[in-house]
Amino acid sequence: MVAQDTNLRSIGGILDAYFTAAETTDSLARATGFQNLFTENGSITSVVMNYDGTNRVREGSWQTYLEKTGQYYRRFTPDFVEISREMEYYLEIASVHCIVAQYSKQNMTSKQYKEEHWMQFDLVYLNERWYIDNLLWINEMPGVQIQNALITDTLIYSPE
């Protein structure tokens, strides 16, 4: 399950390795994968948008993320499909923005759910390979499509 370090020398390789690790329902394999992909102090922040416009922000280490998502992985099998990607990088740092479709198959009923996310990976190049230092994502809200999130001025947010 641990990605070959040679694959992690490219930005595409580290993203592919992340999605592979995030898709596995084997908690030990997922933990091993994340440990190989994240910096020691790497963090994950999720913003879950609710239908009523409120949101729930969760942030912490990748280890905390694994602990908090165990119940989800017992109930669902995820599959991630990257729809689009935009990168900004210079030498040993990169910021990668992706639009991703997450398909979650409910294990007991085989019912499938789809949700799209905007994800931002902050990467650092250390010891001849890339690492994820921070991962941030937000889910799509009804009425505010995320498909065009990487195109300037397509999403409008009016804070209260």
pLDDT value at position 150?
60
Q: For residue 77, how many other CB atoms are within 10 A of its CB?
A: 15
Question: Which residues, listed in sequence order, are joined to residue 48 by a DSSP beta bridge?
Answer: 56
For 38-64, what is the mean pLDDT? 91
Three-class DSSP category at 8: helix
Residue spans of alpha helices (H) in the chain: 11-23, 27-37, 62-68, 70-75
CATH topology for the 5-139 domain: Nuclear Transport Factor 2; Chain: A, (3.10.450)
pTM of the model: 0.86
Given a cut of 80, whether residue 3 has pLDDT beyond it is no
Q: Are 36 and 13 in contact (CB under 8 A)?
A: no
- pLDDT bracket for residue 55 (50, 70, 90): confident
pLDDT value at position 151?
61
Q: Is 118 exposed, middle or buried (CB count within 10 Å of its CB: 0-12, 13-18, 19+)?
A: buried
27-37 and 11-23 helices, crossing angle to 10° = 160
Round to whole Å and give the CA distance between 110 and 158.
38
DSSP letter, residue 4: P
